[in-house]
Amino acid sequence: MSEEVTKIVTIAITGSADFTAIEGETDTDGQLVLYPKGCDADFINFSILKIEDDIPVGTGRNEWEKLFDEFMDLTEFSLIKHPDNMWSLVDRQGGNLGGIEGDRFGGSMGLLDRMDIYIQDYLAKPLEECLTEAGHKVPEYRDWSELVAFAKSVSFPYAGDVAMLDMICNHPDEIDLNNCCFEKAEEHWADYDSKTWNN
């Protein structure tokens, strides 16, 4: 995909977010298939506001960055980039537990550290329950990396919870948030209120 010519398409749904459309790639109705810039996504219904032709766009994403995006979708958070290159989160459910939306992060490691309660509730606990239901006696573990190691040792399917938890425990320094799905703060706050926005 990095060598393909793409178009940058601004769509009405998000107001100002950049999406990529691979030239010539269409859905069954013959319309361009759009992807959030640098992200994998299904076909999106859209109305085109602006098209810039012949802009080469490389992906450069690794598997951990893709898993990070999946984790954001799972926990229903949106990643926001600020003009000073700091990052923050918006809780799409409107919970804002512990005032998490007011925190700022320099990168993925600090951001994931702050999300420990969500990691426990959405990944670690369900994984432990799945292992138990599959007949595996889960030993006591000091941290999530030991849970991941145990899941791998019993050949538990490396997918879903295991892969995301592995990303969080063992590869947070390999995630460049610039390669993940995000909104620019000035665009997000111009269009939405964090308490009511639900995408």
DSSP track, 137-180? -PPP-SSHHHHHHHHHHTT--SSTHHHHHHHHHH-GGG--GGGS
Q: Are the beta carbons of 191 and 16 closer than 8 angstroms?
A: yes
pLDDT for 159 equals: 65
pLDDT for 182 equals: 92
Q: What six digits make up the tokens of 71?
A: 């984790």
pLDDT for 45 equals: 33
pTM given for the model: 0.65
Between CA 16 and CA 12 the distance in angstroms is: 8
Q: Give percent of the chain above pLDDT 90.
A: 54
Whether the predicted pLDDT of 4 surpasses 70: no
Write out pLDDT tens, residues 33-48.
444 444 333 333 333 3
Residue with tokens 């859905």: 27
